[in-house]
Amino acid sequence: MDTPAFQRLRYVRQLGHAFLVYPGATHSRFEHALGTYHLAGRALANLRDRGQLGGLGDADALLIRLAALLHDIGHYPFSHALEEAGFPSHEALGAASLGSGPLADALAASGVAGAAAAVGGVITGASAHPLAGLVSGSIDLDKIDYLKRDALMCGVPYGEIDVDRLLACLVVVELDGRRRVGVMEKGLAALESLLFAKYQMYRNVYWHHAARAANAMFKRLVAAAVRDGAVTPGALAAATDDALIHELAARDRTGIARALRERRLYKRAIELLPGEAGDVPSWVWEGGEKLRRAEDALAKRCGLEPGELLIDFPHKTAMLGLDLPIARGGGAVELLTDRGWPGVMDLPRMAEDLVESARRLRMFVAKPVAVETAALLGALEP
């Protein structure tokens, strides 16, 4: 915790620009990392007390606690905006960072054999360790902490999760020849609360229109800075929120950095439900040069300057995805997936509809303009 890499997380906000909408949302990745570590300790203690850790020793428990503590060590400033803009995942960056510097020395002294590689495998979801699902899985402790913490700091009632019940219902089961973390059947109601909380937080907080406007502006600002050579991708990964925005502002030719600092956010000109938007191509949410060209072409048609019109269509892979063993009351173990479990847990069958209902195709503009919906949809044609 006392390494510079971990202390950096004190200065990386958990929710990026969401504080411009919810003033209390200034909590950091540092707090979240500690919370996830705390939940890992509780989960491991529950599993140990119920005799679920047979064959697993203190080094296995320490590995999971370290992975919980360090799962966001490679996180960019301003939440997930830069990953949306096409930069490498924070999990991959985090795993790569564990092998050098003071953090590598601390891990080497932890007593866990090959700690850097082992922790990196858990963080990226590549580990076959029986307890890896506590850190990267359908019911990982990361989700439990950030949903509760984000809801509390934003002052919204959407992150209600029965944490005690979920932790009490965790089990280690054998399925398809390997041991994995699962949930007892009696914990399905608590699992439903987790999935609904995630959906509600995306719909009302993470994908709030003003937060998405700030997110789109920030992505455009960084893309311009990288093209101009004002900042390098490597520097982005090591920066903190305030240090990065000050550096961007010092060399900004778009005016977006100052607008963000002064909360002069672009306004919605068009907002469409997925059903109204039709088939939106993936390059819209993947970002990149093709989206920039489409935005600037439409801006020109509307009498705006390049960068004064931004298009946003948030995307979250498997937001409500499930791949979780369920220990049934009779002793059988069954896998709960996105296909659902008719008569037992039907929520996954609704997952796709819920995710789509949370998304909006939006066009944000720096100044008022008149533009037809058809013009926006035409700009997004392949």
Mean local confidence (pLDDT), 145-156:
96
Report how far residue 30's alpha carbon sits from residue 35's, in angstroms, rounded to the nearest whole number.
9
Residue with tokens 């720096």: 366
CA-CA-CA-CA dihedral for 166, 172, 174, 175, to nearest 10: 30
Instruction: List all residues 6 or more positions away from 303 whose beta carbon is below 8 Å from its beta carbon.
Output: 369
Mean local confidence (pLDDT), 83-101:
93
Instruction: List all residues 6 or more positions away from 213 whose beta carbon is below 8 Å from its beta carbon.
Output: 265, 266, 267, 268, 310, 312, 362, 364
pLDDT beyond 70 at 331: yes
Homologous superfamily (CATH) of 4-207 is: Hypothetical protein af1432 (1.10.3210.10)
Taking only the tens place, the pLDDT of each residue in 344-361 is: 666 555 666 677 788 999
Residue with tokens 């997380």: 9
Mean local confidence (pLDDT), 193-199:
87
Taking only the tens place, the pLDDT of each residue in 119-150 is: 999 999 999 999 999 999 888 899 999 999 99
Burial (CB < 10 A; 0-12, 13-18, 19+), residue 156, is middle
Taking only the tens place, the pLDDT of each residue in 224-266 is: 999 999 999 889 989 999 999 999 999 998 999 999 999 999 9
Please give the pLDDT value at position 320.
64
Q: What's the pTM?
A: 0.93
Question: Taking the domains of the chain in order of start, what are their residue ranges?
Answer: 4-207, 214-316+359-379
Report how far residue 99's alpha carbon sits from residue 102's, in angstroms, rounded to the nearest whole number.
9
3-class SS at 182? strand
